[in-house]
Amino acid sequence: MALSKCRISSGFFPRVTGYGNLETVLRRDCGGGRAGRAAGPPDLANIKIGATMDDVPLIHDWNVEEFETLAWGRHVELDDETLRDGLQSPSVTDPPVGAKIELLHMMNQLGIHTANIGLPGAGPRAVADITRLCEEIRDANLSITANCAARTVLADIQPAVRISQQTGVPIEVCAFIGSSPIRLFAEEWTIDGMLRTAEESVSFAVREGLPVMFVTEDTTRADGETLKALYGNAIRWGVRRICLCDTVGHATPSGVRALIRFIRREIVDPSGANVKIDWHGHRDRGLGLANALVAIEAGADRIHATAMGIGERVGNVQMDLLLVNLALAGVHDADLTRLADYCELVARECGVPLSPNYPVLGEDAFRTATGVHAAAIVKAQAKGANWLADRVYSGVPAAMVGRRQEIEIGPMSGISNVRYWLAQRGYDPDDTALCQRIFARAKNSDHTLAEDEVLSIVREPAA
């Protein structure tokens, strides 16, 4: 297998100031903004002390070794389910409509394509909020479009039709129905009975001119013949998007791949219709994000996710982390520097705190007090390149989400942590006595020193 010469794994190329034509070099080597492969192995034998970043292949990217077999190069859409599935989390508060509007604007800025804005069949409050959100899409001229969840019954679909007609905003109806044998057994449903009810409601929405996505709950535990019957009929009724759901978080990555390939090969392709495939996954096994990435590779057209993964039980795919991964893969190019605001809004308004060790956005995501890590970052910065310092110990560059690397001082620190910390705050990093005093205190501590703790050492009179 040929070695990739691509220097970084991503389409995320922040402009490097003070470092010549690095961005140009990266774009050239990585195929212009997307991870790709260049011919021939990197010339590692010729790296010399003092070499510049232009001379060295800095990152070898195994993620793109099998690039040709994956579908990463193509466009994938995102559906934000925070305001529907997210609010089904047993721990969240349903936020006021003002916060929902603010969130809708953030989704729009993050390049998210569609937002599920609720289940109008749930009652008057849901209808009022959905109506207001549709008006906002219309009046603020947002690019994001709306969809609504509905059971495959007329009583759920009629309010969606009414809101769409009142506001003049198209609403995609996400009409859901059970599909797994375990659910059919528990509910005492028959396929024929389900199809009769679904045909009436789905055909009504199609006749009213609304786009319909036909959603099968628990698809990852449904058998192929049932899925053929449900999707085959839905496509016949005029549905042009189907949604495969891992409702209970059962699927493993190989299950996701097998299911999507089956649906495309056995149902979508033979129909001859232009039918899009959505993936909606939960993370009961902790596989939500990985499964979403596999779904994209396997050919899903749109992925559902929520802010911080809030949702039914332990939740859905984390939209924020999905965005980061798509940006790193070069297939989503919206500015993500306000991603933290998106999560903070949901954390505050829904009452779901962001844990410090949450990837990318948690308080600790770019903090280190470890000597070896800090030394590498400090050396990278000494080479004059924030680009380098932001990646030498980070799989995700902090600048991508508007943050920076933070070096702190604790029992695992080296003296370079102390010097860096002092220099960053305008103190003399060459004051050996001060450095040693802080260093000795840190070594005897059982935790990373807080800002105030270090400052109090700095202010102590010298011995």
Instruction: Give the binding site for Zn ion (CB under 5 A).
Output: 85
Do the Cβ atoms of 147 and 163 come closer than 8 Å? Answer: no
CB of 88 to Zn ion, least distance (A): 7
CB of 304 to Zn ion, least distance (A): 7
CA separation, residue 366 to residues 30, 286, 392, 403 (Å): 26, 23, 12, 8
CB of 85 to Zn ion, least distance (A): 4
Considering the complex, state which of residue 218 and residue 390 has its C-beta at the smaller distance from Zn ion: 218
Q: List Cβ neighbours of 446 (8 Å cut-off, separation of 6 or more).
A: 411
Do the Cβ atoms of 244 and 219 come closer than 8 Å? Answer: yes
Provide the token pair at 221. Answer: 């535990």
Considering the complex, state which of residue 241 and residue 373 has its C-beta at the smaller distance from Zn ion: 241
Considering the complex, state which of residue 29 and residue 85 has its C-beta at the smaller distance from Zn ion: 85
Considering the complex, state which of residue 310 and residue 327 has its C-beta at the smaller distance from Zn ion: 310
How far apart CA 435 and CA 421 sit, in angstroms, is 10
Do the Cβ atoms of 236 and 272 come closer than 8 Å? Answer: no
Residue whose beta carbon is closest to Zn ion: 85
Considering the complex, state which of residue 131 and residue 306 has its C-beta at the smaller distance from Zn ion: 306
CB of 56 to Zn ion, least distance (A): 46
CB of 86 to Zn ion, least distance (A): 9
Closest CA to 148 of 172, 123, 132: 172
Considering the complex, state which of residue 85 and residue 349 has its C-beta at the smaller distance from Zn ion: 85
How far apart CA 220 and CA 248 sit, in angstroms, is 9
Considering the complex, state which of residue 120 and residue 249 has its C-beta at the smaller distance from Zn ion: 249
CB of 306 to Zn ion, least distance (A): 9
CB of 350 to Zn ion, least distance (A): 16
Provide the token pair at 106. Answer: 């953030």
Do the Cβ atoms of 250 and 284 come closer than 8 Å? Answer: yes
Considering the complex, state which of residue 85 and residue 136 has its C-beta at the smaller distance from Zn ion: 85
How far apart CA 238 and CA 211 sit, in angstroms, is 9
φ/ψ of 190, rounded to 5, equals -115, 155
How far apart CA 160 and CA 132 sit, in angstroms, is 13
CB of 321 to Zn ion, least distance (A): 17
Sign (positive or negative) of CA dihedral 114, 115, 116, 118: negative
Number of neighbours of residue 46 by Cβ within 10 angstroms: 9
CB of 244 to Zn ion, least distance (A): 12
CB of 8 to Zn ion, least distance (A): 34
CA separation, residue 160 to residues 12, 116, 167, 195, 276 (Å): 39, 12, 11, 21, 21
List % helix, strand, coil for the chain (3-state, nearest 5): 45, 10, 45
Considering the complex, state which of residue 89 and residue 368 has its C-beta at the smaller distance from Zn ion: 89
Closest CA to 450 of 414, 409, 419, 404: 409
Considering the complex, state which of residue 81 and residue 136 has its C-beta at the smaller distance from Zn ion: 81
